[in-house]
Amino acid sequence: MSERFTIVYRDWAYNGRTIHPRDRAWLEFVPEGEEPPESYMFQAAKLLESNDPEIEKALVRETKEVDLDNFNVYYVYRTTCG
């Protein structure tokens, strides 16, 4: 059985987006059939296509091997207010 996990972005996020020092960004790997990450006022979660090159770059950076057929991958960006 596959378990949910994340790969955190440090300075630069998806598509080279700059991360504000108070914000957080990550890729969330969600097993097929499980609930996606929440989207609400301060957090956005976008489902990525399984062939998105950003997924492979993140997996290589973290030296992880994952069968992407078992996961939905979301780009999540959480911001702070004020």
The pLDDT tens digits of the residues spanning 33-42 come to: 999 999 999 9
Q: What is the mean pLDDT of residues 52-75?
A: 93
Is pLDDT above 70 for 82? Answer: no
Task: Quote the domain boundaries for residue 60.
Answer: 5-78
User: What percent of the chain has a predicted confidence (pLDDT) above 70?
Assistant: 96
The total of other beta-carbon atoms located within 10 Å of residue 51's CB is 8
The total of other beta-carbon atoms located within 10 Å of residue 61's CB is 11
Q: What domain count does the chain have?
A: 1
| Residue recorded with tokens 């999540």 | 76
The total of other beta-carbon atoms located within 10 Å of residue 34's CB is 11
In the prediction, which pLDDT does 51 show? 94
- Please tell me what DSSP assigns to residue 52: -
Q: Which of the pair, 11 or 82, is modelled with greater confidence?
A: 11
